[in-house]
Amino acid sequence: MQVKNEVLSRVYVLLFGVILPMAAVLFYRTVDIAVIQGEKWRERGKDLYIAPRPVEAERGNIMARDGSLLATSIPYFDIYMDPNSTGMSEADFLKNLDTLSHCIATYVDNNFTPGGFREFILQKRVEGARYVPIKRKATYLQKKQIEEFPLFNLGQMRGGFIARKLSERVRPFGLLALRTVGYVRDGRKIGLEGSFDEILGGQPGQQFMLRVDPQQDIWIPTEDLLEIEPESGSDIVTTIDINIQDVTERALMRALNAHGADWGTAIVMEVKTGAIAAIANLRRLDTEGGPGYYEAYNDAIASATEPGSTFKLATMMALMEDGFVQLEDTIPIFKGRTEFYKLPLEDSNPLSFKIDSTSIRNVFAMSSNVGMATLIDRHYGTKTIRNKNKGPEFFIDKLKQFNLHLPSNIEIEGEAPPFIKEANSREDGWSGTTLPWMAMGYELLLTPLQILNFFNAVANDGKMMKPYLVQEIQQLGETQRVFKPTVVKRNIASAQTIDRARELLLEVVENEWGTANKLRTSAYKFAGKTGTSQINYQRTTNKNRVGGYQASFAGYFPADAPKYSCIVVINNPRQRGFYGAEVAGPVFREIADFCMKSRLEFRPLLDTLTIASASVKLPDGVIGEQTDVRKILKQLDVKTYGNPGTEFLVTEVRNDSLLLERRSVPGDVVPSVVGMGLRDALFILENRGLRVEVEGSGKVVLQSVKAGTPVRGQTVRLTLG
């Protein structure tokens, strides 16, 4: 009994002396934290908590077909300090603060004195700051240097060093194909960057981070290790030929400046495949630096306009496909003036005013509006026995046979749909004048790319290809997917119609009456059609009020075995002419001249012996990566000797051969890249943590930072020529 009482007394003591008081204290603290001070701790909880956060993956590159970079990501780091890091001791902080302040003031931010920075950090530590900026956009080498500073070299937890890795999207060739390459920004996805965003963007990783500033939504990593590693994006290889693209843009720019136009576009397409070799878009904009032309809108695919006389090819092909005309048939043109439903129609070619009638071949070559409208009205405008009582439906059916009512479905977003009126449709605004005006390329809407795709099919013996801009997707240099040419329609018309259509396009250039006769050259033959359409016009019973013109030229070259098709459209030229032959035609000719002179497939094979005997023609002073240079010289069968043991080499002419000499590229100083191609120069400089800006095209002729200068993350401007 005594033992029992003793046990009970101990239990009571434990219960009332320990457990119940502890329970009361815990209850009080619970109420205090949850109710009395609840708002305070909830606010603290918003300020500091850990959560998994996404880590941006490295974005893939966009490359031209030869591997030249059209868009790439350059990594950089924003450096911060956490003076109140949970792992930082007071002793470590005070021991290293003076030396750290000296390093920051000397090597990072000259706006601070060592003493000033010391006071600044002390103040931030007292304030409880967790995210103090040290340097923005630091290069990798700069980041490595800063993280070795005293205190920072203790790591993130003990030393408070925070490096936030970011990337900047850059375009080594500047404005080249800018709108086609595009961008992803502020929710907008434009061009190839937008259409292939998921492929380029990769898969983000994940890392646990601590939120230190809810107002600015600032997070800092809790440790260096990632919970989930990001998966880098894939590269896309485009069909863009960097040299043709450069020439196309320069030729278009000169024409726009010369004629004071609103905008212009030019597209070059491979006939057999539909691959886009060049696509240029320039618009006149008023900026802070004054008016100029910029790649602000992709008019090539997004601007559907009345094409004008380039559409006459479709009109003539419909007539020939239905068997209504032969090229030598004679048609009245009424000395260039007639009317339809009391609306006057007049030719723009002064030759017409002297002629009552001429052959259909000449009507097309001289681009007679009266002749084309008369033909279309005669054969499709009225219900006769000859056209089996179908009237305009026959003509619209033929346009659909040519696929002119369908978009090209190119990869990038924003293509404007074509607009072809349905015959006799009130909803589409069909009237008595619609048919003759359609024959001249009015009362319908097509983009430059859609027109070019039709011309390309004619050049390709009637086979219509799908235009495309991306030929391959790569990951770390390995091909993941190949995009092959796609046939949209095997025959848009009979072989006979296609042959005659190509005859007519050649007549435009070779015929003395042809609107593009002044553009012809003895070096090669090209074929095409000029176009001059009125824009912002108002038709009245007396005359048309014209708000401007759109000049165009569409065609292909060489005429006998077409390799490339091309269209040039220049909207609202205000000076020095407005006709397609004098505004758009010269741009086409400049592009064609370059391709015919520079492309190996257009030039006869060079006599190797002739090359070897003429040392002045040998590539003297060429600098490049050894494997690439040797491969090219081997293909040209150029005799070489010398075996430099360096990654890069330089060539020197010696009699009938080339001496291959060493070209050293030191790693700790800025190397000389003069004489190199842009691809090699970028590779060398960026691998040394240098930022690169590029101006011009060709090989490097000048670099802004002198060779031999110690590498400190400088920006090197390269001038190409």
Give the pLDDT mean for 306-332: 96
pLDDT in tens, 554-604: 999 999 999 999 999 999 999 999 999 999 999 999 999 999 988 766 655
Q: How far is CA 196 from CA 172, 200, 472, in A?
A: 20, 6, 12
Whether residue 529 lies inside any domain: the answer is yes
Backbone angles phi, psi at 155, to 5 degrees: 100, -175
Q: Which position has the token pair 């030598």?
A: 328
Strand order in the sheet with 276-287: 290-294, 276-287, 263-270, 564-571, 548-557, 527-535
- Domain residue limits at 702: 608-720
Q: Which of 178, 204, 237 is the last residue of a domain?
A: 237
Query: Per-residue confidence at 41, pLDDT binned at 50, 70, 90?
Result: low
- Return mean pLDDT, the chain: 86
Alpha carbons 81 and 132: distance in angstroms, whole number: 5
Whether residue 216 lies inside any domain: the answer is yes
- 288 and 213 together in one domain: no
Whether residue 262 lies inside any domain: the answer is no
Write b or e for each residue in 297-324: b if 16 or more Cβ atoms lie within 10 A of its Cβ, otherwise e: bbbbbbbbbbbbbbbbbbbbbbbbbbeb
The strand pair at 290-294 and 132-138 is best described as unpaired
Residue 96: give its domain's CATH number. 3.90.1310.10
Q: How far is CA 414 from CA 64, 306, 417, in A?
A: 22, 18, 9
Whether residue 250 lies inside any domain: the answer is no
pLDDT in tens, 552-562: 999 999 999 99
Determine how many CB atoms are found less than 10 A away from the CB of residue 422: 13
312-321 vs 369-376: helix crossing angle, rounded to 10:
40
Report the pLDDT value the prediction gives residue 709, as an integer from 0 to 100: 77
CA-based nearest residue to 341, from 555, 568, 539, 560: 539
Residue that wins the pLDDT comparison between 401 and 155: 401
- 224 and 300 together in one domain: no
Whether residue 435 lies inside any domain: the answer is yes
Report the amino acid identity of residue 368. S
Whether residue 253 lies inside any domain: the answer is no
What sign for the dihedral angle of Cα 392, 395, 399, 401? positive
Report the pLDDT value the prediction gives residue 616, as an integer from 0 to 100: 42
Report the pLDDT value the prediction gives residue 420, as an integer from 0 to 100: 97
* Contact (CB, 8 A) for 55 and 117: no
Alpha carbons 202 and 231: distance in angstroms, whole number: 5
Q: Which of 534, 556, 578 is the last residue of a domain?
A: 556
Whether residue 267 lies inside any domain: the answer is no
Give the pLDDT mean for 121-125: 91
User: Phi/psi class of residue 714: alpha, beta or left (left: φ > 0; alpha: ψ in -120 to 50)?
Assistant: beta
Structurally, the chain folds into a number of domains equal to: 4
% of the chain exceeding 90 in pLDDT: 53
Check whether 170 has a pLDDT greater than 80.
yes
Which residues partner with 499 through β-bridges? Answer: none
Tokens standing for 278?
A: 């060049």
pLDDT in tens, 465-518: 999 999 999 998 899 999 999 999 999 999 999 999 999 999 999 999 999 999
What length is written for the chain? 721
Q: Which of 181, 209, 237 is the last residue of a domain?
A: 237
Query: Per-residue confidence at 70, pLDDT binned at 50, 70, 90?
Result: very high
- 202 and 158 together in one domain: yes
Check whether 606 has a pLDDT greater than 80.
no
Residue 445: give its domain's CATH number. 3.40.710.10
- 31 and 56 together in one domain: no
Q: How far is CA 40 from CA 33, 43, 47, 126, 215, in A?
A: 9, 5, 11, 20, 17
CA-based nearest residue to 348, from 501, 508, 589, 533: 533
- 294 and 219 together in one domain: no
Tell me, yes or no, if the pTM score tops 0.85.
no
- 230 and 298 together in one domain: no
- 225 and 306 together in one domain: no
- 307 and 388 together in one domain: yes
Check whether 386 has a pLDDT greater than 70.
no
The secondary structure element, H or E, covering residue 244 is: helix 242-259
Check whether 331 has a pLDDT greater than 70.
yes
114-127 vs 90-103: helix crossing angle, rounded to 10:
140
- 30 and 66 together in one domain: no
Check whether 619 has a pLDDT greater than 90.
no
Alpha carbons 158 and 151: distance in angstroms, whole number: 8
- 430 and 360 together in one domain: yes
Alpha carbons 315 and 193: distance in angstroms, whole number: 38
Give the pLDDT mean for 373-392: 75
Lowest mean pLDDT among 134-143, 281-290, 419-428: 281-290
- 444 and 500 together in one domain: yes
CA-based nearest residue to 206, from 52, 399, 428, 379: 52
Alpha carbons 585 and 264: distance in angstroms, whole number: 13
Tokens standing for 532?
A: 């001059």
Residue 702: give its domain's CATH number. 3.30.10.20
- 93 and 172 together in one domain: yes
* Contact (CB, 8 A) for 553 and 588: yes
CA-based nearest residue to 565, from 453, 406, 488: 453
Alpha carbons 123 and 101: distance in angstroms, whole number: 13
Tokens standing for 403?
A: 């696929």
CA-based nearest residue to 706, from 674, 675, 679, 677: 674
Whether residue 271 lies inside any domain: the answer is no
Alpha carbons 676 and 626: distance in angstroms, whole number: 12
